[in-house]
Structure 1
Amino acid sequence: MPTLPRYPQSPQSIGDRFRNLDPMQQAPARGRNVMWDLLFNKPGDTVPAAPIPVRRLRREELDSAPDRSLYRLGHSTLLLKLRGHWWLTDPVFAQRASPVQWMGPRRFHAPPVALRHLPPIRGVLLSHDHYDHLDRAAVRALARTGARFYMPLGVGDRLAAWGVPDSLIRQFDWWQGAEVEGLRITATPAQHFSGRSLNDRNRTLWCSWVVEDAGFRLFFSGDSGYFSGFRSIGERFGPFDLTCIETGAYNVDWPGVHMQPEETVRAHQDLQGRWLLPIHNGTFDLAMHAWHEPFERIAALARAHRIALATPMFGERFLLDAPHPGTAWWRDLPDTDAATSPLLQAPR
């Protein structure tokens, strides 16, 4: 593990650790071991019984894609074309979200496009250093192409230890940002934690991102529990044309660091969002809920609250200037009875 420097100038820093804006919510007393359940008491429906539909992307299609195209590649990895350049969020192309590739949460599907077939990447937005958001092999491969990385404090020190040149690394505290060839990016608060081993918790900062492109505003949540910061971000930068907010891998035992779908809706409303695109779902088995439950719950909530919801298939083009709802593609799998059964409303 690299020796990570301190950032005493950061208001989020206490000693050698970072802290959240709001006090952490406490999990309810449940009298059970969460990790034991995750390892040994998994329900059978946390993993799809059949392959997830993925629209394969060819390099030729990406090369001819119009500006302001967005593609979901998996989990929280988005491929965006903005101002003629390609950007990635939290790129994870590994088979497993794990320190090792012989055990740990395995992907439900391959990325719609292989890492080596991506178009030239101008910039990579990183939200934090957890394994399902920061893939060392992908970062090193992207660095070899000259991609530049934008991330919260401390994460860049990890990248430097992995051999990424300093010239490709830019680190930010909350509310700091940069203008990149007319595109404005700002690191904004999130309610989460960080770490890649047992003894480095909160040694690096975590964040969400605001992306502004000539009047168009996009919000990318990274990982977050529900907190007051969403309203502050909405007041400073909203309204947002599109919010990409985590909706998946939730559990009532993790109230301070992940959101239930009802809280995703509240965050979207606080941000003054127009369209909502739920992320952090459909790729890894990271919780106790059915793999398709996040889609069903957020779809029901969006209807109830009259929110414009977008659920593009992995690899399907989503045009930021002409958004569309997509389809309930998850219902086509044989283990998904959502079309005929009551919605799964009980939080887990």
Structure 2
Amino acid sequence: MTSETHELSNLQVSPPSSQRRDGKFRNLHPRKKPGFWKTMQILWRFSFEKPADTVPAQPIPVQAIHRQQLLDAPDRSLFRLGHSTMLLKLRGDFWLTDPVFSDRASPFQWLGPKRFHQPPINIADLPPIKGVILSHDHYDHLDFNAIQQLTGKVEHFITPLGVGDTLMKWGVPAEKVQQLDWWQSTQVAGLHLVATPAQHFSGRSLSDGNRTLWASWVIQDDDLRLFFSGDSGYFDGFKEIGRQYGPFDLTMIETGAYDREWPDVHMQPEQTLQAHLDLRGKHLLPVHNGTFDLAMHPWQDPFERIVSIAEDQGVPVSTPQMGEMLNLNAPDLGKRWWRKLLPTPNV
């Protein structure tokens, strides 16, 4: 048992919340749990029926990022570092979402989903970070080793309820941590940040399920409005978020790790697009893809499907390479880079 697991077994979430009952947080709509036998079937599929194309046959292209490049970048820039990790430059400050830099999204670095690519920049080379915005505590979103390395260079950690307790148990000073319930907000360095609902779950071990909250996030910089979904199944909460805080200039919405067996916690690409429309989004940046093998679909399927259905409805979708800069004032669609990695069909 690692020290992290031992600490989590004693986790106590102190702030009150209307979403927390009997010691556990809950969704707005009850999640359909798969049950023991369905869970065993899912594990069997993952272990013995995994298609070969869930992992790219060639290395993912990555544009390396250098510290000076970040310092010279204009305000309202975004760099996708992989999976759900985005580096934002707003008001001259840098912000990270769900920073995961480890080789595996797992409690062990010798077992579990391995990265398709290395991060475009190492944590040591990052400039000082104004804030880290966390969506929930799953291993592909909350990276123990990354938090250990980031603690000294990050001023603020903004988290859903309970996730901040985890950070403090890992050694993050309490004065750096702010924990929010759904619909609560905070002002940090000129940004308005709002924790908004998501349809998901939490837990890092067999004994701490749903002891911490999960959330999506609204990020406002004056007239610029961004949405970060974290992880979520499709639900009517997107419409309410869009009503209260939309329209959004850019939505960063999960599009990956979906399957018919877990529709309540991850969206199919068609649902991702509907969530974007519900939010009254302008540009869509599909995230939660291209870095880890977390489902049974081909690794490029999230990109192909979301681009295809969005084009049919006239919705602009930005697909930057890992490390490529995106101008938040005028997001470029980007090259459909993944297609160069696909095998040429036999004629």
Coarse TM-score class (shorter-chain normalised): over 0.9
Greater helix fraction, Structure 1 or Structure 2: 2
User: Which of 11, 24, 27 does residue 4 from structure 1 map onto?
Assistant: 11
Deviations 1:51-75 (A, max 9, x none): 0111111111111000000000000
TM-score (norm: length of structure 1): 0.94
SS at match of 2:284: strand
Q: CA deviation at 1:4?
A: 1.9
Q: Provide the C-alpha distance between the structure 1 equivalents of 2:344 and 2:40, rounded to a whole number of angstroms.
A: 28
Q: Provide the C-alpha distance between the structure 2 equivalents of 1:159 and 1:183, rounded to a whole number of angstroms.
A: 22
Q: Provide the C-alpha distance between the structure 1 equivalents of 2:228 and 2:259, rounded to a whole number of angstroms.
A: 21
Deviations 1:50-99 (A, max 9, x none): 10111111111111000000000000000000011000000000000000
Contact 2:13 2:161 in 1 (8 A): no
Partner of 1:81: 89
CA RMSD of aligned residues (A): 1.8
Partner of 2:279: 271
Counterparts of 1:300-311 in structure 2, within 5 Å, are: 300-311=308-319
Q: CA deviation at 1:335?
A: 3.5
Q: Say yes or no: does 1:160 pair with 2:160.
A: no
Q: CA deviation at 1:23?
A: 2.4
Q: Say yes or no: does 1:250 pair with 2:263.
A: no
SS at match of 2:244: helix
| CA 293–165 in structure 1, closer or farther in 2 if over 3 Å, else same | same
Q: CA deviation at 1:6?
A: 3.7
Deviations 1:299-341 (A, max 9, x none): 111011110110011100000012110011000114476xx99
The letter of the residue matching 2:26 is R
| CA 31–161 in structure 1, closer or farther in 2 if over 3 Å, else same | closer
SS at match of 1:192: coil
Q: Provide the C-alpha distance between the structure 1 equivalents of 2:291 and 2:312, rounded to a whole number of angstroms.
A: 26
Partner of 2:30: 23
Counterparts of 1:177-256 in structure 2, within 5 Å, are: 177-256=185-264
Q: Provide the C-alpha distance between the structure 2 equivalents of 1:45 and 1:92, rounded to a whole number of angstroms.
A: 23
Deviations 1:282-303 (A, max 9, x none): 0000000000000000011101
Partner of 1:346: none
Q: Provide the C-alpha distance between the structure 1 equivalents of 2:39 and 2:214, rounded to a whole number of angstroms.
A: 30
Counterparts of 1:276-291 in structure 2, within 5 Å, are: 276-291=284-299
The letter of the residue matching 1:130 is H
| CA 336–33 in structure 1, closer or farther in 2 if over 3 Å, else same | farther
Contact 2:13 2:212 in 1 (8 A): no
Q: Provide the C-alpha distance between the structure 2 equivalents of 1:145 and 1:53, rounded to a whole number of angstroms.
A: 28
Which segment is superposed worse, 139-148 or 199-208?
A: 139-148
The letter of the residue matching 1:297 is R
Q: Provide the C-alpha distance between the structure 2 equivalents of 1:336 and 1:77, rounded to a whole number of angstroms.
A: 31
Which segment is superposed worse, 109-118 or 143-152?
A: 143-152
Q: Provide the C-alpha distance between the structure 1 equivalents of 2:46 and 2:256, rounded to a whole number of angstroms.
A: 15
Counterparts of 1:327-338 in structure 2, within 5 Å, are: 327-335=335-343
Q: Say yes or no: does 1:105 pair with 2:113.
A: yes
Q: Provide the C-alpha distance between the structure 2 equivalents of 1:336 and 1:252, rounded to a whole number of angstroms.
A: 28
SS at match of 2:86: strand
Contact 2:132 2:154 in 1 (8 A): no
Contact 1:6 1:15 in 2 (8 A): no
| CA 31–181 in structure 1, closer or farther in 2 if over 3 Å, else same | closer
Partner of 2:3: none
| CA 40–165 in structure 1, closer or farther in 2 if over 3 Å, else same | same
Contact 1:48 1:335 in 2 (8 A): no
Counterparts of 1:168-183 in structure 2, within 5 Å, are: 168-183=176-191
Unaligned runs of 5+ residues in structure 1 are 342-348
Which segment is superposed worse, 17-26 or 72-81?
A: 17-26
Q: Percent identity?
A: 58
